[in-house]
């Protein structure tokens, strides 16, 4: 009989031992929770396409802060839903814009909370595209000027970090220049470096009211057939001054999370998008999967691929799972 002295199963014989030798470690401090802030008052409404997530008017953000604190979540990313939209998305950089209101309210309620802001125009334009139109084409260079204005307005309102999600060429450099010129040299940029024209965004577009009124976003978001191009996008953002690189979506793009981590000496974020969250919720509701287990397993796969930061609608639940020792 073969005398097998090498037995990998030895390190799986107890829960304590399995936790001791885990290769992938996760901390609640690496989680960012997406939050939807809407103009108005007394608005606290569950989002039908994202069960367990809510629209908050600024005066109701205390509910979000209380929930975050209860679960040990200390980082959020804000998305704004304005009342009024126009062709150029001017509400996006208004001093009293909805994201700017949200930043100030959160900082009033919880100064220690780390607030990241999504920098884009799709929620603010009447046509739903991510920039300034020239006929039916998004004009890159006009748009990056506006994006820099938006980022500056967020920093002036108290944002700790800005995150451009538009996929215009050169926007990281334009934002960095604008922030630095106005004294915000220490406000980092988390770039949506490789953001794909994905079918997984449906629930978000419903929640944010940001679906384009014509066409699609394939002329600026990435073709999901391409991987090498993603690394080129990441490299350009590194050269332009990005501080963190993001891959979006997460689960269908784990190969790119891995490649980004291997190739660039910057923190890597991954966004587990609305469609990923909604699929887990819907499938669990149908009784086909264990929601808690699948939530944990999918999150670990993203970190295992190389993510340092996870943007996720499951932030509160994952923070609890980490404290319980089920992951982390």
The tokens describing 181, both together, are 């010129």
Q: 108: part of which helix (H) or strand (E)? A: helix 98-109
CA atoms within a 13 Å half-sphere pointing along the CA-CB vector of 234: 26
pLDDT in tens, 72-125: 999 999 999 999 998 888 889 999 999 999 999 999 999 999 999 999 988 899
Q: What are phi and psi of 286, to 5 degrees?
A: -80, -5
Classified as helix, coil or strand, 175 is helix
Q: What average pLDDT score do residues 45-67 get?
A: 97
- 214 close to 127: Cβ distance less than 8 angstroms: yes
Q: Looking at residue 213, what is its pLDDT? A: 60
Catalytic center residues? 195, 248
- Any idea what the Cα angle at residue 157 is, between residues 151 and 160, rounded to 5°? 70
Binning pLDDT at 50, 70 and 90, where does residue 178 land? very high
Mean of pLDDT over the chain = 93
pLDDT at 216 over 70: no
Is 262's pLDDT higher than 70? yes
Q: What percent of the chain has pLDDT over 90?
A: 79
What are the start-end ranges of the E strands in the chain?
A: 31-38, 44-47, 50-56, 75-81, 114-119, 133-134, 137-138, 161-164, 190-195, 244-248, 268-272, 309-312
pLDDT for position 118: 96
Task: Calculate the alpha carbon distances from 5 to 2, 10, 13 in Å.
Answer: 9, 10, 16
Given a cut of 80, whether residue 212 has pLDDT beyond it is no
- Name the pLDDT band for 62 (thresholds 50, 70, 90): very high
pLDDT interval class at 12 (50, 70, 90): very high
Average pLDDT value for residue range 259-272: 97
User: How much is the pLDDT for 211?
Assistant: 67
Closest CA to 247 of 303, 322, 186, 293: 303
Strand 309-312 versus strand 31-38 pairing type: parallel
What domains can you pick out in the chain, each with its CATH number?
A: 26-324 (3.20.20.70)
Would you say residue 215 has pLDDT above 60? no
- In this predicted model, what pLDDT tens digit does every residue of 115-164 receive, in sequence order? 999 999 888 998 877 888 878 788 999 999 999 999 999 999 999 999 99
Residue 80 and residue 118: Cα distance in Å, rounded? Answer: 8
Kindly give the interhelix angle for 61-71 and 315-324, rounded to the nearest 10 degrees. 20
Q: Are 99 and 78 in contact (CB under 8 A)?
A: yes
DSSP structural state of residue 300: H
User: Residue 228 corresponds to which tokens in the numbers above?
Assistant: 């090498």
Rounded (5°) CA angle 213-127-149: 145
Q: Which residues pair with 114 in a beta bridge?
A: 75
- What pLDDT is stored for residue 19 in this prediction? 86
- Comparing 11-20, 211-220, 240-249, the range with the smallest average pLDDT is 211-220
**Confidence band for 206, pLDDT divided at 50, 70 and 90:** confident
On the question of pLDDT at 255 being above 80, the answer is: yes
Question: Does residue 208 carry a pLDDT above 80?
Answer: no
Among the listed residues 268, 247, 269, 267, the one whose alpha carbon sits nearest the alpha carbon of residue 256:
247
Give the CB-side neighbour count of residue 52, counting CA atoms within 13 A. 16
Q: How far apart are CA 107 and CA 57, in angstroms?
A: 15
Model pLDDT, residue 67: 98
Residue 318 has a pLDDT of 98
């Amino acid at each position: 009989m073969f005398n097998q002295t090498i037995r990998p199963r030895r390190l799986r014989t107890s829960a304590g031992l399995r936790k001791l030798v885990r290769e992938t470690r996760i901390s609640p401090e690496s989680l960012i929770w997406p939050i939807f802030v809407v103009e108005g008052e007394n608005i606290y409404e569950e989002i039908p396409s994202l069960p367990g997530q809510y629209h908050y008017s600024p005066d109701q953000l205390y509910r979000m802060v209380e929930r975050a604190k209860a679960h040990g979540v200390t980082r959020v990313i804000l998305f704004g839903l304005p009342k009024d939209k126009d062709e150029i998305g001017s509400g996006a950089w208004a001093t009293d814009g909805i994201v700017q209101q949200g930043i100030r309210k959160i900082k009033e309620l919880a100064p220690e909370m780390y607030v990241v802001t999504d920098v884009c125009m799709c929620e603010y334009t009447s046509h739903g595209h991510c920039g300034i139109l020239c006929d039916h084409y998004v004009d890159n260079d006009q748009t990056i000027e506006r994006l820099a204005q938006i980022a500056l307005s967020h920093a002036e309102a108290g944002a700790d970090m800005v995150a451009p999600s538009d996929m215009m060429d050169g926007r990281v450099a334009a934002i960095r220049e604008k922030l630095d010129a106005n004294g915000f040299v220490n406000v980092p940029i988390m770039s949506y470096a490789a953001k794909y024209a994905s079918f997984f965004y449906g629930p978000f577009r419903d929640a944010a009211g940001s679906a384009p009124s014509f066409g699609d976003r394939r002329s600026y978001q990435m073709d999901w057939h391409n991987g090498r191009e993603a690394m080129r996008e990441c490299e350009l953002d590194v050269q332009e001054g990005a501080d963190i690189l993001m891959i979006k979506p997460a689960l269908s793009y784990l190969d790119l999370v891995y490649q980004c981590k291997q190739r660039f000496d910057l923190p890597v974020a991954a966004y587990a998008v609305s469609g990923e969250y909604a699929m887990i919720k819907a499938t669990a509701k149908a009784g086909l999967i264990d929601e808690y287990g699948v939530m944990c397993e999918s999150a670990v796969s993203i970190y295992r691929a190389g993510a340092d930061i996870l943007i996720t609608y499951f932030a509160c639940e994952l923070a609890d799972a980490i404290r319980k020792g089920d992951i982390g």
